[in-house]
Structure 1
Amino acid sequence: MADSPRERKVARPPDFTQLIDLASEFVGGKILFATDDFFAPAENLLKRDNPSFKEHEYTEFGKWMDGWQTRRKRIPGHDWCVVQLGIQGVIRGFDVDTSYFTGDHAPRVSIQAANFEEDKQPEIPQRQVRTGAAATPEEFEAISELKSDDWSCLVPMTELTPGNPASSHNYFPVTSQQRWSHVRLNIFPDGGIARLRVYGTGQKDWTAGDPKEPLDLVTIAYGGACVGFSNAHFGHPNNIIGVGTAKSMADGWETARRLDRPPILENDENGILLVPGCEWAVFRLAHPGVITQIEIDTKYFKGNSPETCKVDGCILTAQEEEDMVRQKWDLPGHKWKPLLPVTKLKPDEMHVLDSLTPELQDVITHAKFTITPDGGVSRLRLKGFPSSICLLRPREKPMMRFSVKAGFRANL
């Protein structure tokens, strides 16, 4: 008897999967339309959690599945759905995950995209999550206003692998540099998909809005990103620059307890703990600018918030950032300029603090958030005003200092 084929090893995910999921329901992504939701609704595509499987669970329409699954098509055409991204931005890649769809996965897929300004997007009636139903003529008429048949094609029709553990992830890199607000997922002709991940970076129109209103220059919604950290045992630092308020302790940055902490803790004369180590994370701002206010939220971290924190900033070219990533951010101390001195933190509380930079009037491109000795934070907001300078080209030497008046935003 021939040996049964061995399960192939799971391939290493591409680098773009380290970026944020622009379509996740967690950042506000939503389904605007789906041709059919007979076995499972399209909203499942945007869940933040990984797909699950309940072997013996059934609904009145058939097997319960954690994904989007259409009926076996008996009419002309194919199934498709439209997703409004929670964060508008540049798409670097897709993951079409067919986990647990082994005999009923969608055999082929294509993906299109479009960009609509908020004030120019046609009004689409809010969709209700449902199963056992197909789109109504009224829903088809409403979605036709988006003219999605004519959207740009980012992924041509491509065969998908079934949802076995070693082959469920179908990765598609994207080279487009455009900003996108919507995607259309086409499956040919029908079937099931567990998750759709749309990986990329947020991108904001910096010419829009009130020039006197400070903006969060580090948020992922505008393109901020964590580019280095010391420890992320319980949660990645990218979480703390996420959209909205934290939903739980899992939605923050939390480090392991440092093993070099003293057996018995003591305070100095200012009431600060005498501990040897710290943890840190470095963030690239969405746009160079002056930070005027810093918000640090320790919500949900009631018994594990840090003792103190500080924030420093610097200006780096793209090439210098690449060098620092390779060197694990061993940047000389004099390169960092203080934005917030060592400050005591309270558990489960929002801290709103003034930055030092209005006095210094320094533009920065990167910020380093340091917590002592360890612990967790749910959100970090670095509010201020973008400057008219752009990131310098790689290998050019940056000027030592840039100055703008606090509250000033030049023509961008």
Structure 2
Amino acid sequence: MTDHSFTRFINMASPRLGAEVIFATDDFFADKSRLIKDEEAVFIPGKYDDNGKWMDGWESRRKRGQGFDHCILKLGQAGIIKGLDIDTSHFTGNFPPAASVEACFSNADTPGEEAEWIEIVPSMNLNGDSHHLVAVENDTPFTHLRLNIYPDGGVARLRVYGEFYKVWQESDYGKEMDLLAMENGGRPIIANNEHFGVLSNIMQPGKGINMGDGWETRRRREPGNDWAIVALGHAGEINRILVDTAYFKGNFPESISLQAARVAGGTDDSLPVQSQFWEELMPRQKLTADAEHTFESELNKLGSISHVRINIYPDGGISRLRLFGTLDKE
């Protein structure tokens, strides 16, 4: 993956998903927990604390000896990493000249000496006040990351894009669950427009927190409708659907329909063309403002599916989409 298309995946380093910075060799100037805040980093002129200038990120003191600083991040659950953003926004004279990233799989909260750390991003140069987007080519599931900075300095944010890795148990079969939930391995593939809110938001856990915490397109000024494609965490049969337009009051879609298929072969890039001809899982249904809409009898029985195309008419935003169903054993 030579481009930056990995940013369409979920940020697995979000505290809302259970991620936590559990260790730093030094965070004298800026607390390590700020490194993974969901909000974009800010700079507040004139704001100081007892240790000096307040910075929105993780910042160590100036190193006066050999070695380098590092911090360890624990993901909410194991995941396959597709790419990283090492963001030095607002760090200009105090950013690290270089960084590298290692990862490991550990059942412990804090990996012990037996942990096998694998380098997923070799040492690379950093610039001040910049985003550094780096693709990762490794399909191994990891639970922890170690960000090394050479030799010291500050990083505003670390974003870890990928998909959660779910180990299915025998007891999961026959149990109704949200097969699109990101914690169950659901992932966004593509949306024709994400001007005001990214597609991955609709599979976040819990209720949306505001209008920005959903998928929202720009105002459509031409014929047609907006659409998106998502992949279930496991193929299965959908029995019930919840569409939540929480906080979308003057900008919710007039209606929504869903198409679906059990996809075999091809690539994510080939799905938009194929999806036009998928069968209708749910015919077009009216939506209302700031409300949960449950659909069950309206669904067509398609059997086992793996991918869903979301059609919203003509545009607008939805907060959450829940696709409740049972796993397919095949």
TM norm. shorter chain > 0.5: yes
**Residues 242/208 of structure 1: CA separation in 2 closer, same or farther (3 Å cut):** farther
1:189 matches 2:176:
no
1:20 matches 2:10:
yes
Structure 2 Cα separation of the partners of residues 43 and 252 of structure 1: 24
Structure 1 Cα separation of the partners of residues 61 and 194 of structure 2: 42
Shift of 1:76: 6.0
1:375 matches 2:316:
yes
Structure 2 partner of 1:158: 123
Structure 1 partner of 2:282: 340
Shift of 1:314: 1.4
Shift of 1:14: 2.4
Structure 2 Cα separation of the partners of residues 192 and 89 of structure 1: 26
Question: Unaligned regions of 5+ residues in structure 2, if any?
Answer: none
Shift of 1:198: 1.1
**Residues 90/317 of structure 1: CA separation in 2 closer, same or farther (3 Å cut):** same
1:364 matches 2:305:
yes
What secondary structure sits across from 1:238 in the alignment? Answer: helix
Structure 2 partner of 1:394: none
Indicate conservation of the 8 Å contact 1:85/1:182, yes or no. yes
Shift of 1:68: 0.5
Structure 2 partner of 1:331: 276
Shift of 1:291: 0.7
Indicate conservation of the 8 Å contact 2:8/2:189, yes or no. no
1:11-50: CA deviations, max 9, x gaps? Answer: x962223322111224331111222221101111102233
Structure 2 Cα separation of the partners of residues 237 and 169 of structure 1: 21
What secondary structure sits across from 1:177 in the alignment? Answer: coil
- Aligned pairs (5 A) from 1:8-407: 14-74=4-64, 77-116=67-106, 120-122=107-109, 143=110, 146-147=111-112, 150-155=115-120, 158-164=123-129, 168-207=130-169, 209-259=171-221, 277-319=224-266, 321-325=268-272, 327=273, 331-332=276-277, 335-336=278-279, 338-354=280-296, 360=301, 362-389=303-330
Indicate conservation of the 8 Å contact 2:98/2:123, yes or no. yes
**Residues 148/21 of structure 1: CA separation in 2 closer, same or farther (3 Å cut):** farther
Indicate conservation of the 8 Å contact 2:102/2:145, yes or no. yes
**Residues 71/95 of structure 1: CA separation in 2 closer, same or farther (3 Å cut):** same
Structure 1 Cα separation of the partners of residues 139 and 192 of structure 2: 31
**Residues 246/31 of structure 1: CA separation in 2 closer, same or farther (3 Å cut):** same
Structure 2 Cα separation of the partners of residues 230 and 196 of structure 1: 27
Structure 1 Cα separation of the partners of residues 241 and 166 of structure 2: 20
1:254-282: CA deviations, max 9, x gaps? Answer: 2233335xxxxxxxxxxxxxxx7433222
Structure 2 partner of 1:125: none
TM-score by length of 2: 0.88
Select the structure of larger CA radius of gyration.
1
**Residues 108/330 of structure 1: CA separation in 2 closer, same or farther (3 Å cut):** closer
**Residues 209/190 of structure 1: CA separation in 2 closer, same or farther (3 Å cut):** farther
1:78-136: CA deviations, max 9, x gaps? Answer: 322221113531012222222222222223323222223xxx435xxxxxxxxxxxxxx
Q: Which structure has the highest strand share of the two?
A: 2
1:157-205: CA deviations, max 9, x gaps? Answer: 61432314xxx23343322211111112222332211111111112211
- Which residue identity does 1:121 align to in structure 2? A
Indicate conservation of the 8 Å contact 2:9/2:200, yes or no. no
Root-mean-square deviation (CA), in Å? 2.6
Shift of 1:69: 0.5
What secondary structure sits across from 1:251 in the alignment? Answer: coil
**Residues 255/174 of structure 1: CA separation in 2 closer, same or farther (3 Å cut):** closer
Shift of 1:209: 4.7
What secondary structure sits across from 2:35 in the alignment? Answer: helix
- Which residue identity does 2:320 align to in structure 1? R
- Structure 1 residues 181-190 or 154-163, which shifts more? 154-163
Shift of 1:363: 0.7
Shift of 1:361: 5.5
What secondary structure sits across from 1:176 in the alignment? Answer: coil
Structure 2 Cα separation of the partners of residues 223 and 94 of structure 1: 19
Structure 2 Cα separation of the partners of residues 38 and 313 of structure 1: 52
TM-score by length of 1: 0.72
Structure 2 Cα separation of the partners of residues 51 and 157 of structure 1: 25
Structure 2 Cα separation of the partners of residues 353 and 29 of structure 1: 33
Question: Unaligned regions of 5+ residues in structure 1, if any?
Answer: 1-11, 123-142, 261-275, 390-412
Q: Count how many residue pairs are aligned between Structure 1 and Structure 2.
A: 329
What secondary structure sits across from 1:319 in the alignment? Answer: coil
- Which residue identity does 1:110 align to in structure 2? S
Structure 1 Cα separation of the partners of residues 117 and 321 of structure 2: 36
